[in-house]
Amino acid sequence: MVNSKNMIDYIMDYECGTLNDKQTLELFSHLIKTGMCWNLQGHYGRTGENLIDGEIIFRDGTINWDLINERI
């Protein structure tokens, strides 16, 4: 689970491509919840918006597990 203490580790792992799908969603959920998604480089904001537009993560940062489970 992403929190303020390990967020940098998650971002570094994301940048290196070592996060799995669940960890990536948890990272973006945290970034959206805290508003940091909109303050990082453009890729993060665009990815956050795409996840929101696809209803994978709600605007409040909650992950839409029902949708994800339907797609599995």
How many Cα neighbours within 13 Å face the side chain of 37?
A: 25
Rounded to two decimals, what is the model's pTM? 0.92
Q: What is the token pair recorded at 27?
A: 């990272």
Tell me the pLDDT tens digit for each residue of 46-56. Answer: 999 999 999 99
> Confidence class of residue 4 from pLDDT cuts 50, 70 and 90?
confident
Which domain range does residue 41 map to?
A: 7-71
Give the count of domains, the chain: 1
> What is the model's pLDDT at position 17?
98
Position 21 in a domain: yes
Q: How far apart are CA 67 and CA 63, in angstroms?
A: 9
Which amino acid makes up residue 29? S
Position 66 in a domain: yes
